[in-house]
Amino acid sequence: MEKEKSILESLLFVSGEPLSLEKISKISKIKKEDLLTYLGELQEEYLREKRGMIILEKGKSFQMVTRPENSEFVSSLVKGEIAGDLSQAALEVISIVAYRGPVSRADIEVVRGVNCSFTLRSLLMRGLLERVENPNNSRTFLYEISFDFLKKLGLKSVKELPDWEKISKDKRAEDAKNLKEKKDESGENQINL
């Protein structure tokens, strides 16, 4: 039971977005009925122990969020992230979106090799990226450059970015994505590129 709760904690933490019961079950290979029990126990533990995180439930989706009482401190951190210079991670993510977008979070993570939930959220809050519906998958979003990004750079289109034509067509990113999909389908361990 502790191992299962640990898995659920990790999934909710890394996701950064609400996860459906169905998706959690598919990824964790835990039955939905058991998931509800474990998630309920985690929710109670977080509340009872007054941890910095809580687990919200809406319909059949769950999301890990910060405790409301800590909002003052979280706001200070977020304001600092928004007002400060872009980190190296943010520059990498925004470059991938600018040259490859619209692109899914999973595809960005394949190129970078690390989770980018927090970075995407920061870029969304700064107004540099926009999240749009994915026509191929209603459960995921795509990210694209915002008008604010173009305005701040004085561009009419992302096609005005340096070497946009060459870099946006570079096959290495597509090859990395295809390699990951083949590994995932075959059940082999995922690789970091």
What is d(CA 131, CA 133) in angstroms, rounded to the nearest whole number? 7
pLDDT (average), residues 36-45: 92
What is the torsional sign of CA 64, 126, 102, 119?
negative
pLDDT digits (tens, 9 = 90+) for 47-104: 999 989 888 888 888 988 888 888 888 777 766 655 567 788 888 898 888 888 788 8
Contacts 24+ apart (CB under 8 A), 166-171: 167/99, 168/99, 168/100, 170/99
d(CA 180, CA 192): 9
- DSSP-assigned letters across all residues of 72-97: HHHHHHHHHHHHSPPPHHHHHHHHHH
Which architecture characterizes domain 85-186 according to CATH?
Answer: Orthogonal Bundle (1.10)
Helix residue ranges, H only, 16-140: 21-28, 32-48, 71-83, 88-100, 105-112, 117-125
Residue boundaries of the structural domains of the chain: 2-69, 85-186
191, two tokens? 């690789």
How much is the pLDDT for 36?
A: 92
Higher pLDDT, 127 or 169: 127
Q: Is-same-fold flag (2-69; 85-186)?
A: yes
For the domain spanning 2-69, the CATH number is 1.10.10.10
Output the six-digit token pair for 156. 């009419």
- Could you give the C-alpha distances from 82 to 69, 97, 127, 155, 181, in angstroms and in order? 21, 18, 9, 22, 34
